[in-house]
Amino acid sequence: MQSDSFDAIVVGGGLVGAAIAWGLRRQGLSTVLLDEGDVAYRASRGNFGLVWVQSKGLGAPWYQRWTRASAGNWPELAAALGGATGTDVGLRQPGGVHLCLSDREMADRAARMSRMQAEAGNTGYEYRMIEAPELREMLPGLGPRVVGASWTPYDGHANPLRLLHALHADFAASGGVYAPNAKVEEGHAAPHDFSVFVGGRRFGAPRIVLAAGLGNAGLAPRFGLAAPVRPQRGQVLVTERAAELLSMPTTTVRQTQEGSLMMGDSMEEVGFDLRQSPDVMRQIADRAVLSFPWVGRLNILRAWSALRVMAPDGLPIYDQSARFPGAFTANCHSGVTLAGAHALLLAPMIAAGALDPMLDPFTAGRFDVRAAS
Ligand SMILES: Cc1cc2nc3c(=O)[nH]c(=O)nc-3n(C[C@H](O)[C@H](O)[C@H](O)COP(=O)(O)OP(=O)(O)OC[C@H]3O[C@@H](n4cnc5c(N)ncnc54)[C@H](O)[C@@H]3O)c2cc1C
């Protein structure tokens, strides 16, 4: 059997695995990235593209801090990828708004933002609730039903497909080994000594990172870890291109670099069902048209559904195995937003051999699950 040894094995070539593998290469580790392929459920190819901070971490200020840190690291990631590959990953961070279509929504949102600011304590959390007249000047073409919005300066968006492409391209160009069509099903774990077997080939390393999205649920127990993630379906609609009209993204409508309008994205508990449904698509389109009536004049060119990688409490799971030191897992439903943190903060921790205590609250131990032996 062919046997190859590396400093690190990363399982899963979506946004999470690719960002970590890229970061490990940057730390000088020889790294192999094993990816099942297009047959898997790939959130990284079907998401909404927000680099979003403002609603993350109510009741969990450590998640707010991690998300802010990621948004803060994004420009360095985008610049590094742009410099190395020539790919503009489309990062724009002009701030962002969550639109409210009723007084009730506005009141709920204001209460939420105020609590988030209180929870942030001395790390600060800048936001404003903006009433409709001022908002109309910021976002021309706003519908009459919009009563206001919450705004923070931290939000933005990017082109997630270009990000994924650039991470892979630079990972390979810098000597990383990418193995597609490589579904990991068998492995052997011992402290700082891991092997996985794919197609009659053995890959060995003292570190392994499980970043296989929904595949992590089944893989983690083999490596002394737990990843109780479930699928949550989201649907997205995309229009033809329009002149540049939206100066900043909103949670449900954003204008891409190319000019098309993306509308999203539902949150449906339907298991592994990837079908699209006209009723949900209609709800998404209706809200977009209530927000910006001119969007109703644009043709929808594409629509899709994809599955989020969702933990029971909606927060990421980062963990290291107590039984098999050197085994790590990373799972999240905001892999675009968190790409900056995964590439530039998490990967160095993994390279150094241990997660920083700041990530302790993200352990799977917070759930009633036990890492299998
Ligand atoms: C509709 C929708 C909208 C979203 N919007 C946003 C957004 O605006 N902003 C944001 O930050 N995030 C957003 N997300 C979330 C984001 O897309 C995900 O957090 C991210 O893509 C997860 O990446 P991942 O690499 O963990 O998973 P995936 O993209 O699912 O990739 C997992 C990879 O692992 C591979 N794999 C699985 N099992 C195995 C195995 N056994 N062996 C080898 N390889 C394996 C698969 O082939 C796949 O390539 C959205 C998601 C959805 C569905």
Q: What is the pLDDT of residues 312-327, one digit of tens each?
A: 999 999 999 999 999 9
Looking at residue 371, what is its pLDDT? 54
The predicted structure's pLDDT at residue 199: 87
68 CB contacts (<8 Å, ≥6 apart)?
A: 53, 123, 154
* Cα-to-centroid distance, 275 and ligand 1 (Å): 17
Return the residue whose CA atom lies nearest to atom 52 of ligand 1.
47
**Separation CA 107–CA 138 (nearest Å):** 21
Residues 255, 239: Cα–Cα separation, whole Å: 10
How remote is the CA of residue 306 from the centroid of ligand 1, in Å? Answer: 9
Residue nearest to atom 51 of ligand 1 (CA): 47
Q: What is the pLDDT averaged over residues 77-85?
A: 98
Does the C-beta of 50 come closer than 6 Å to ligand 1? Answer: yes
For ligand 1, is residue 53 a contact (CB within 6 Å)? no
Over 90: is that where the pLDDT of 260 sits? yes
Summarize pLDDT for 194-217 with one digit per residue, the tens.
999 998 899 999 999 999 999 999
Mean pLDDT, residues 88-103 taken together: 97
Q: Give the start-to-end residue ranges of the domains of the chain.
A: 2-50+161-228+313-366, 96-153, 230-310
Q: How confident is the model at residue 42 (pLDDT cuts 50, 70, 90)?
A: confident
Within 10 angstroms of residue 14's Cβ, the number of other Cβ atoms is: 25
Superfamily of segment(s) 2-50+161-228+313-366 = FAD/NAD(P)-binding domain (3.50.50.60)
- 344-178-310-110 Cα dihedral, nearest 10 degrees: 40
CA distance 248 to 300: 21
36 lines ligand 1 (CB under 6 A): yes
Distance 212 CA to ligand 1 centre (A): 8
Q: Which two tokens stand for residue 182?
A: 């490589």
Residue among 177, 212, 206 at smallest CA distance from 191: 206
**Cα-to-centroid distance, 47 and ligand 1 (Å):** 8
Q: Residue 335 and residue 339: Cα distance in Å, rounded? A: 6
Ligand 1 atom at shortest distance from the alpha carbon of 12: 34
Contact criterion met (CB below 8 Å) for 15 and 335: yes
Q: Is the pLDDT of residue 72 over 50?
A: yes
pLDDT score, position 44? 87
User: DSSP letter at 268?
Assistant: B
Instruction: Tell me the mean pLDDT in the region 233-253.
Output: 95
The pick from 22, 33, 35, 184 for probing ligand 1's pocket by mutation, whose C-beta has the most ligand atoms within 8 angstroms, reads 35
Q: Which of 10, 48, 235 to mutate to test the pocket of ligand 1 (most atoms within 8 A of CB)?
A: 48
Predicted confidence at residue 234, as pLDDT, reads 96
In the chain, which ranges are continuous DSSP H helix? 15-26, 61-85, 103-120, 132-138, 160-173, 216-219, 278-291, 339-341, 347-352
What CA–CA distance (Å, rounded) separates 340 from 106? 31
Atom of ligand 1 nearest to the CA of 41: 30
Share of the chain above pLDDT 70, in %: 99
User: The domain 230-310: what is its CATH number?
Assistant: 3.30.9.10
- Confidence check: pLDDT of 304 > 80: yes
- E-assigned strands of 199-324? 201-205, 208-210, 230-241, 253-255, 260-263, 300-310, 317-320
Please tell me if the domain spanning 2-50+161-228+313-366 has the same topology as the one spanning 230-310.
no
Atom of ligand 1 nearest to the CA of 39: 47
pLDDT at 62 over 80: yes
What pLDDT, on a 0 to 100 scale, did the predictor assign at position 41? Answer: 72
Is 87 close to ligand 1, i.e. is its CB under 6 Å away? Answer: no
| Position 146 pLDDT exceeds 70 | yes
